[in-house]
Amino acid sequence: MRLNNNKALVLVGLLLCSTVHAIEFQSPIKLDDPVILKQVEPDKKLVEHKPPNIMPYQIPTFTGAPVDYKQIKPAIDAKKKINGDAIFQIINKCYPLKSGFGLEVNLRGGINYKPPTSSSSSTSTTVVQTYDSQSYYAGIVANMPLYSDIEIDKDRKVEYQRREQTAMTIKEMLTAVAAKRRAERMMGLYLSLEKRAQARIETGVAPVEEQIGYLEKVATTQGELDAAEASIEGSRLALIGQCRPEVLDEVNNYILSEIQ
């Protein structure tokens, strides 16, 4: 019986101890406690980050070059025309062979003197009469090669084909120059409109599709411009390729001055 009483006392003591500890743990925390402040305050100051300045996406132009859309390339000068007839005549004259559309006649002149003679029974004496016009002879000889009708017709057909090809080459060159001038004019307009669309999109008054449409037109026009320049170069080389070496540079410079 006494043993049970001792156990009861021990249990009561344990309960009292746990209650005291619980009361201590539930006591209010002091915020100005230096131990707590040391745990809360960081060792270093926080770095202040500014918001990033992110610009909106801007669609680049086709060329990428700065363009003032208020300044447009001048219109095509309608007064500047290429003299196709002059180019045709020059190319035909600078061909190495002579033309087969005319007779090939070579003239050769000459003069001769025939002194008079007097003869006797024993000797023969030659007497020179200086002022005797009957002793002098002058003549002009015309040399013309003999051609059959078949040979003449064949040569003329070959030259006609060459002239016809020259005319077609000049036509292609004139067409290409006209296409180049038109493409250059359209390129100036499209570049201006493309740059204007970029500015409108930046201010938020136009959709992105506006600039994309002009960008595609600029790309297409650039292809037309490249094709025209290639055709011009091909025609120019074909024309000057028919000329003699000694006149080739002169003819080439004239053609370049015409197609500018």
Q: Are residues 91 and 33 in the same domain?
A: no
Asked if residue 255 is part of any domain, the answer here is yes
pLDDT of residue 238: 95
In angstroms, the first-to-last Cα distance of the chain is: 132
Q: Are residues 30 and 110 in the same domain?
A: no
Q: Are residues 100 and 222 in the same domain?
A: yes
> How many separate domains does the chain show?
2
pLDDT of residue 217: 94
Q: Hey, what are 180's tokens? A: 């180049």
Asked if residue 49 is part of any domain, the answer here is no
Asked if residue 55 is part of any domain, the answer here is no
Q: Are residues 12 and 141 in the same domain?
A: no
Q: Are residues 185 and 101 in the same domain?
A: yes
Question: What is each CA distance from 25 to 19, 20, 21, 34, 226, in whole angstroms?
Answer: 10, 9, 6, 19, 89
pTM of the predicted model, to two decimals? Answer: 0.59
Q: What is the mean pLDDT of residues 172-197?
A: 92
- Give dist(CA 95, CA 93) in Å, integer: 6
Q: Are residues 97 and 33 in the same domain?
A: no
Asked if residue 63 is part of any domain, the answer here is no
Q: Are residues 127 and 8 in the same domain?
A: no
Of residues 99, 91, 88, the one with CA closest to residue 250: 91
Q: What rounded mean pLDDT belongs to the chain?
A: 75
pLDDT of residue 212: 92
Q: Are residues 137 and 235 in the same domain?
A: yes
Exposure string over 53-62, b if 16+ CB within 10 A, otherwise e: eeeeeeeebb
Q: Are residues 12 and 128 in the same domain?
A: no
Q: Are residues 126 and 224 in the same domain?
A: yes
Exposure string over 248-259, b if 16+ CB within 10 A, otherwise e: eeebeeebeebb
Asked if residue 105 is part of any domain, the answer here is yes
Q: Are residues 27 and 97 in the same domain?
A: no
Question: What is each CA distance from 57 to 68, 74, 199, 202, in whole angstroms?
Answer: 20, 32, 13, 9
- Give dist(CA 167, CA 197) in Å, integer: 45
**Per-residue pLDDT tens for 128-181?**
444 455 555 566 665 655 555 666 667 788 888 999 999 999 999 999 999 999
Asked if residue 122 is part of any domain, the answer here is yes
Q: Are residues 249 and 127 in the same domain?
A: yes
**Per-residue pLDDT tens for 18-68?**
554 444 444 555 555 555 555 555 555 677 788 887 776 677 888 777 777
Asked if residue 61 is part of any domain, the answer here is no
Positive or negative CA dihedral for 239, 242, 248, 254? negative
Name the residue range of residue 226's domain: 84-259
Q: Is the pLDDT of residue 120 over 60?
A: no
Asked if residue 46 is part of any domain, the answer here is no
Q: Is the pLDDT of residue 77 over 70?
A: no
Residues 97, 258, 82: CA angle, nearest 5 degrees: 90
How many other CB atoms sit within 10 Å of the CB of residue 10? 10
